[in-house]
Amino acid sequence: MAATLEAPVVRSGRTRRRRRAVVATTVLAIVVFCQFVLTMMVGDHFVPPVDVMLSAVHLGDDPMTDFIVRDLRLPTAATALGVGLALGIAGVVFQKLLGNPLASPDFVGVSSGASAFAVAAIVISNAGAAVVSASALSGALLTALIIYLLAWRDGISGYRFVLIGIGVSQFMLSIVGYIVSRGDLYEAREAMTWIVGTVGQAGTGELRTLLGALVLIIPVALVLERPLRMLELGDDTAKALGSRVELNRVAMIALSVVLVGFATAVAGPIMFVALIAGPIAQRITGPGGGILAAGLVGAAIVLGADLVAQHLLPTSLPTGVITGIIGAPYLIWLLATVNREGRGG
């Protein structure tokens, strides 16, 4: 091929895409950081941003502020951040992997599977944090495995995966409903976590597990970004380009499922975050955007939803109610347009 050709068009297009994605991702990170700090500022007692940051990194000198910031508000802020990142990343990986905007883990039943197992652990065995996290993780893994096996036919079709996933999701949700209705030790408010999800009452143990998993998994996810860009071309093209399709796919599904499992153990199934984070991130970053941007959008959504749920409304609501209010119209729009463009299959 003509090796002397200059490549101005291609290079400028690529540079432009890259630059836009980098700028947009940076802006997203700044927004998320501001929301994170804001979450620790507001409440019954206002704490100025500088004090929040000093206290959060253990440089504050006022025990009262330290108590409010570190003990009362940091867990909520960290939960919202961690859960949002986890759901955003898991969502976009599923969607790209299966080539279908509906194929997010909350929509196809991975989150409900995690909830069912977590609730079972709490109600039936009165389990501690480690057991709850482990149960949620097993629930997520098991559900994903069931869907994968049922949907497998000489390969995985996104459409079949979504349909089977919705069925499995309904089944798991009915199990959650049943267990919650049987567990009388439960306060109604706590049961609520497992139906709509909220970041307000995370257990410290579950939160540590999630944050630990994120620290390990985010770098792996960024490394898998490249193979993911192959897999979204479909199995044949990806293989023809030398990508190890089966290995990469299993790795990416496993990684997303682990994130969803741990996130659900912390906050319950906060619906729609995984579904909408990826597409919104793509809008913001353009086609060059990636997994990290989707994670940041997820974090922005959960942090924002928590701020609204806690401070802007007369009564405080579970976070999942707010994400539901944002997500449901998007879902309806998506269902309408996907079918119109004939991309449902």
Residue whose CB is less far from another protein, 17 or 208 = 17
Distance CA 207, CA 306 (A): 16
Residue whose CB is less far from another protein, 95 or 193 = 95
- In the complex, the residues that contact another protein under the rule CB under 8 A are 1-3, 5-7, 9-11, 13-14, 17, 96, 99, 101, 153-154, 223, 226, 229-230, 232-237, 239-244, 282, 287-288, 343
Distance CA 264, CA 114 (A): 6
Could you tell me the smallest distance in angstroms from the CB atom of residue 25 to another protein?
A: 17
Could you tell me the smallest distance in angstroms from the CB atom of residue 306 to another protein?
A: 30
3-state secondary structure of 228: helix
Distance CA 192, CA 195 (A): 5
Could you tell me the smallest distance in angstroms from the CB atom of residue 124 to another protein?
A: 41
CB atoms within 10 A of CB 119: 28
Inter-residue contact 197 to 266 (CB < 8 Å): no
Residue whose CB is less far from another protein, 164 or 230 = 230
Could you tell me the smallest distance in angstroms from the CB atom of residue 240 to another protein?
A: 4
- Per-residue b/e over 293-313, b at no fewer than 16 CB within 10 Å? bbbbbbbbbbbbbbbbbbeee
Beta bridge partners of 156: 152
Could you tell me the smallest distance in angstroms from the CB atom of residue 17 to another protein?
A: 7
Residue whose CB is less far from another protein, 26 or 237 = 237
Secondary structure element (H or E) that encloses residue 34, with its range: helix 8-41
Residue whose CB is less far from another protein, 242 or 314 = 242
